[in-house]
Chain A
Amino acid sequence: MIDKLHAAPMNLLPPAWRPQVSALLRAGETLRACLETDLTADLRYARGVLLLTTDRILHLTAEAPVREWPLGPTLTLRQTDHAGVGLIELLHAETRKGLVRFTLAHALTATHWVAEFARLRADCDSVAETPETCPECHSPFDPTTGSCVACARDLASPPSTRTLFRLWRFARPYRLQLLLGFFLTLSATFATLIPPYLTMPLMDKVLIPFQNGTPIDRSAVILYLGGLFCAALVGWALGWGRTYVLALVSERIGADLRTTAFNHLLGLSLEYFGGKRTGDLVSRLGSESDRICVFLSLHALDFVTDVLVITMTAVILFTINPWLALATLLPLPFIGWMIHLVRDRLRTGFDRLMRVWSEITNVLADTIPGIRVVKAFAQEERESKRFLAANQYNLALNDRLNRLWGVFSPTVTLLTEVGLLVVWAFGIHLIAKREITVGVLTAFLAYIGRFYARLDTMSRIVAHTQKAAAATKRIFDVLDHVSSVPEPRHPVTLASVSGRIALREVGFRYGSRHVLRNINLDIAPGEMIGLVGQSGSGKSTLVNLLCRFYDVAEGEILLEGVDIRNLGLTAFRKHIGLVLQEPFLFFGTVADNIAYGKPGATRAEIIAAARAAHAHDFILRLPLGYDSLVGERGQGLSGGERQRISIARALLINPPILILDEATSSVDTETEKEIQRALENLVRGRTTIAVAHRLSTLRKADRLVVLDRGQIAEIGTHDSLLAANGLYARLYAAQTRQHAEDGSTGAEHA
């Protein structure tokens, strides 16, 4: 134990500081916590380390001398941060003794450090659990997120062709078919190489002797021509089989890739979706996975065939005549060198091209769902310009690539033409020296035609390979992304959920902006809590944390006394019914939409839920009742009707916990009353957390929690809060005043 006490914090120390620190420590003094700092007090970058020992606080920096503060009983700490810079102040009887600044990369360790200080104060002997460190860069990382911010992948690096090999994971299940495909390719290639070989005897044994006066040997001609025909036939059959088998496999690989990527995407946290644009993701999963598929079925296959043809031809050529073969293979190294030269430029080019392509899809994905806004503000021209700009950028990039590509292809062709010339010249020379026959030269020329054609397509494959590599990289970017709301390794299952929720010291930040801090709240089963506050006070963030769309940065949220991070995600969310401000209806029937959270629901359950949500009557008025289709955004239904369908959806899963996020703020007062009645059915007997802008809707809440700039300002009932005359009273007064004004102007209009 003692050993661990000494060893654990020492291990925390970056190795560079260890000698200096161990020299500083006095006898009997042990290190309790250590914080790497990277800023000086006047905000310049400088490495340093802030140490907490059993006796004092030490700050070592590369430049300034060591500073130390003894741990007197009056010494206190204050930790704050602003705009990405963290600050620990050492206070001694209201005077500031010192301050330490660091960037928020170290925020987590800083919190641990300060906590350790508090533990030391409390005379607690045990060392707090040391924060986990990232295995790659050794910077501490939040064990709850499971990903390290410091060594997040460098997404701008050009994709390497090697990423293509990662596709093997998806190809493995089909390895037998792949083997068969390869075998077929091999034999098909071999079959296509027979005909030129037969031209040799046809020339030497039939045609040349005929020219010299010997009559044509009919049986030999039939034999050779028959052989040619058979070879063609076999080649055709094998080629057909090969293409079919490999196309089949590659389609399946592509489909598996897409499904896996989509399933993975569904598991990612809202944080990921918040940072990504729809169009980009759509293009990654849609067209780019298809590109990989095409590459595998067509280009990779071609490539293998090309390599086979070239090696086989080379072998045949060498067996016929090594010298002529050598002359034939002359341009090969040049082409190889050129491919290498062009490849690097192409691959960064294609990666950029694909990002531009995403940009084009993004414009579409933005404009089409927002078409009402676009039209209402008469911004068609602007959107058109935006699309044009993306398109033109795409064109410009393409042009640049094509220029390079345009030079490349003809050069390869030129080289092959020159090669052909060399063979002719060298062949004639050899015939003149009587070293080879005319038949051999014809066969050579026939082979070479194939050989160079293959070389040509092989050089073309460079572009396709790079395209596919770029697409693969972009898909694996999605697949490699670890959810910041990870599934626990050993999920705890709750036998029954009554709806008891506790928030302990909950804090959250978006980037460097603190949105919530020190939230402490106990919610009893069946209690209705109203969350109140100005916009930006953190109400919706709190709701997102409760649904575990994000994980808390500090503190914990407990459901029935268990940290929600230890519960299985799906199991946890089954306990929660969520009604959002903008109800989302999926394409499908009304019944499907109500039963979304419980696909096996019976018709009786669906109707009961709809009745309770006051939706039954209007659904019956639809032409096809519950079988009516509702569109992507629920077109054809009013906002209130859609909201009531989404309330029915939440009712059907009968959750112990209900979260209403501004459920009634987008509808008129009359509809709100209707929805309010529906909600009363929903709220009964459940733990409810309701966010509302209109305070009047929360009058039924057992307790109101007033948030102000990320902290709880007041808690109490409507009446007690009014009596307290605090923030809530001010908010309420402002709203009632406005209501009265609205009411009077409304009356005038009427």
Chain B
Amino acid sequence: MTPAFSLARTVFGRLTLTLEDGTVHEGVTPVRAFPLSAPDDYIALVSFAGRELVAIEQLSELPSAMRMLIIEELAPREFMPRIASIDKVSTFATPSIWQVSTDRGPCELVLKAEEDIRRLDRTRLLISDSHGLHFLIEDYTALDQRSKRVLERFL
């Protein structure tokens, strides 16, 4: 399927969108409407002013070149480290400083309150730290014993 718009990257590294009617928008950003529940469905291309210009129902519908452009552009906006293990927590009361190993390397996060651990579904957990950064635990039942025991104190 060929979409009714085209997408290119300018020399300044910004995305340019050309709509069917010939209007050109520079500096568009792709935004996922459901980043957690359905990341590849409903991606919007949003203008610099924050208006939705194009809605893509499914990423797989796009030609691969455009898809790559969008994925490239999305990547830095979606920094969401996946926690592999919880190595140390400062205290079991909140706020608590956690030392965790993630797929992006070891780091430290501050858990402000227990509510910041959000259950996405039966196994996935989303943890927001004090700076609003999101950490994902893909399957908390698959964590090692120690991490699981620590986590259960907060759930």
B contact residues around A629 at 8 Å (CB): 118
- Shortest CB-to-CB span from A278 to chain B, Å, is 21
B36 close to chain A: CB less than 8 A? yes
**Beta-carbon contact of A626 and B57 below 8 Å:** no
Interface residues of A in 71-90 (CB under 8 A from B): none
**Least CB distance, B54 to chain A, in whole angstroms:** 12
Interface centre among A591, A607, A625, A626 (most CB of B within 10 A): A625
Task: Contact check, B52 vs A626: say whether CB atoms are below 8 A apart.
Answer: no
- Per-position binary interface string of chain B over residues 47-63, scored 1 when its CB falls under 8 Å from any chain A CB and 0 otherwise: 00011100101000000
- In the complex the two chains form, is A627's CB within 8 Å of B35's CB? yes
Among A604, A607, A617, A624, contact of B35 (Cβ-Cβ < 8 Å): A624
Residues on B with beta carbons closer than 8 Å to the beta carbon of A618: 50
Contact B118 A621 (CB under 8 A): no
The distance from the CB of A391 to the nearest CB of chain B, in whole angstroms, is 25
- CB of A625 within 8 A of CB of B132, answer no
B46 part of interface (Cβ distance < 8 Å): yes
A739 interfacial by beta-carbon distance below 8 Å: no
Tell me which residues across on chain B come within 8 A of A151, comparing CB atoms: none
The reply to whether B32 and A603 form a contact with Cβ atoms under 8 Å apart is: no
Question: Chain B's nearest CB lies how many Å from the CB of A260?
Answer: 27
Give per-residue flags for A554-593: 1 if the beta carbon is below 8 A from chain B beta carbons, else 0. Answer: 0000000000000000000000000000000000010100
B31 close to chain A: CB less than 8 A: yes
- A-contact bits for B12-36, CB 8 A (1 contact / 0 none): 0000000000000000000111111
Report yes or no: A625 in contact with B50, Cβ–Cβ below 8 A.
Answer: no
Q: What is the CA–CA distance of A589 and B132 in the complex, to the nearest angstrom? A: 16
Q: Is the interface of A mostly helix, strand, loop or mixed?
A: helix
- Is the Cβ of A624 less than 8 Å from the Cβ of B52? no
Q: Determine if B108 is an interface residue (Cβ-Cβ < 8 Å).
A: no
Check: B98 CB closer than 8 A to any chain A CB.
no
Residues of A within 8 A of B34 (CB): 591, 603, 625-627
Q: Is the CB of B37 within 8 A of A591?
A: yes
A616 to B33, CA, bound (A): 9
- If A616-B52, A617-B51, A620-B52 touch, whether A603 touches B132 (CB-CB below 8 Å) is no
Tell yes or no: B73 within 8 A of A by CB.
no
Verify A603–B44 contact, CB threshold 8 A.
no
| A19 contacts B by Cβ under 8 Å | no
Tell me, yes or no, whether A275 is within 8 Å of chain B by CB.
no
Q: B38 touching A603 by the CB < 8 A rule?
A: yes
Chain A residues 585 to 624 lying within 8 A of chain B, measured CB to CB, are: 589, 591, 603-604, 607, 616-621, 623-624
How far in angstroms is the closest Cβ of chain B from A652?
15
In the complex, which residues of chain B have a beta carbon less than 8 angstroms from the beta carbon of A620? 31, 33, 44, 46, 50, 52
* B42 on interface, CB distance cutoff 8 Å: yes
CA distance A97 to B8 in the complex (A): 93
Q: Is the CB of B57 within 8 A of A625?
A: no
In the assembled complex, the CB of A599 is this many whole angstroms from the nearest CB of chain B, namely: 14
Instruction: Please tell me if the beta carbons of A623 and B31 are within 8 angstroms of each other in the complex.
Output: no
> Interface size bucket, B side?
20 to 34
B residues near A591, Cβ cutoff 8 Å: 34, 37
A618 to B52, CA, bound (A): 10
Interface bits B102-136 vs A (CB < 8 Å: 1, else 0): 00000000000000001000000000000010100
Closest chain-B Cβ to A575's Cβ sits at a distance in Å of: 29
Contacts of A624 in B (CB 8 A): 35-36, 134
Query: Do A627 and B46 touch (CB < 8 A)?
Result: no
Q: A603 CA to B43 CA in the complex, in Å? A: 12
B78 CB, nearest partner CB in chain A, Å: 10
Query: Contact at A627–B51, with CB atoms within 8 Å?
Result: no
Instruction: Tell whether A603 pairs with B35 under 8 Å between CB atoms, given A617-B52, A620-B52, A621-B50.
Output: no
CA distance A40 to B57 in the complex (A): 76
In the bound complex, CA of A623 to CA of B132 (Å): 9
Q: Write out the residue numbers on chain A whose beta carbons fall within 8 Å of the beta carbon of B31.
A: 620-621, 625
Inter-subunit contact B36/A617 (CB<8 Å):
no
Report if B41 contacts A (CB, 8 A): yes
Chain A's nearest CB lies how many Å from the CB of B10?
Answer: 23
Residues of A near B42 (CB, < 8 A) are: 603-604, 607
A414 to B42, CA, bound (A): 78
CA distance A607 to B35 in the complex (A): 14
Complex partner residue of A627 from B36, B50, B52, B57, CB under 8 angstroms = B36
Whole-angstrom CA separation of A603 from B57 in the bound complex? 10
Name B41's contact: one of A603, A619, A621, A623 (CB within 8 Å). A603
A307 to chain B, nearest CB (A): 42
Q: CA–CA, A589 to B121, complex, Å?
A: 13
| C-alpha gap A589/B38 in the complex (Å) | 13
Distance of A589 Cα from B51 Cα, bound (Å): 22
CA distance A620 to B28 in the complex (A): 13
Flag if A625 contacts B51 (CB, 8 Å). no
Residues of A with C-beta under 8 A to B36: 624, 627
Assembled-state Cα–Cα distance A724/B147 (Å): 76
In the assembled complex, the CB of B86 is this many whole angstroms from the nearest CB of chain A, namely 22
Select from chain B the residue with minimum beta-carbon distance to A624.
B35
Of all chain B residues, the one with the shortest Cβ separation from A629 is B118
The answer to whether residues A603 and B33 also contact, given A617-B52, A620-B44, A620-B52 and a CB cut-off of 8 A, is yes
Taking CB atoms, residues of chain A closer than 8 Å to B37 are: 589, 591, 626-627
Query: B76-114 toward A: CB 8 Å interface, digit per residue (1/0)?
Result: 000000000000000000000000000000000000000
Complex formed: what's the CA distance from A591 to B32 in Å?
A: 13
- A523–B18 Cα gap in the complex (Å)? 48
CB distance from A644 to the nearest CB of B (A): 15
List residues of A (614-663) whose CB comes within 8 Å of B's CBs.
616-621, 623-627, 629
Question: By CB atoms of chain A within 10 A, which of B34, B35, B41, B51 has the most?
Answer: B34
Knowing A620-B44, A620-B46, A629-B118, say if A607 contacts B33 (CB, 8 Å): yes
Q: Which of A428-475 contact B (CB under 8 A)?
A: none
Within the complex, the shortest CB–CB distance from B81 to chain A, in Å, comes to 15
Q: A620-B31, A625-B31, A625-B35 are in contact. Are A607 and B55 (CB under 8 A)?
A: yes
Q: Which interface residue of A604, A617, A621, A627 has the most chain B CB atoms within 10 A? A: A627
Residue of chain A at shortest CB distance from B47: A617
CB distance from B58 to the nearest CB of A (A): 11
Bound complex: CA A607 to CA B52 (Å): 12
A588 vs chain B, min Cβ distance (A): 10
Closest-CB distance, B33 to chain A (whole angstroms): 5
| Cα-based distance from A603 to B39 in the complex (angstroms) | 12
Residues of B within 8 A of A603 (CB): 33-34, 38, 41-42
Return A259 CB to nearest CB of chain B, in Å: 22
Q: Which residue in chain B gives the minimum CB-CB distance to A616?
A: B52
B116 to chain A, nearest CB (A): 10
Task: Find the A residue at minimum CB distance from B118.
Answer: A629
| A620, B41: Cα distance in complex, Å | 13
Cβ contacts under 8 Å, A625 to chain B: 31-35
**A616 and B50 alpha carbons, distance in the complex (Å):** 10
The distance from the CB of B20 to the nearest CB of chain A, in whole angstroms, is: 19
Cα-based distance from A620 to B33 in the complex (angstroms): 6
Distance of A616 Cα from B36 Cα, bound (Å): 17
A2 to B92, CA, bound (A): 84
Q: What residues make up the interface of A, taking CB atoms closer than 8 Å to B?
A: 589, 591, 603-604, 607, 616-621, 623-627, 629
For the A-B complex with A607-B33, A617-B50, A620-B31 known, give 15 more contacts whose Cβ atoms are closer than 8 Å: A603-B41, A604-B57, A616-B52, A620-B33, A620-B46, A621-B31, A621-B50, A623-B132, A624-B35, A625-B31, A625-B34, A626-B37, A627-B34, A627-B37, A629-B118
12 contacts between A and B (CB under 8 A): A607-B42, A617-B46, A617-B51, A618-B50, A620-B50, A621-B31, A623-B132, A624-B134, A625-B33, A627-B35, A627-B37, A629-B118
Q: Which 10 residue pairs are nearest across A and B when measured between Cβ atoms?
A: A627-B36, A620-B31, A625-B33, A626-B33, A626-B34, A624-B35, A620-B44, A627-B34, A627-B37, A625-B35
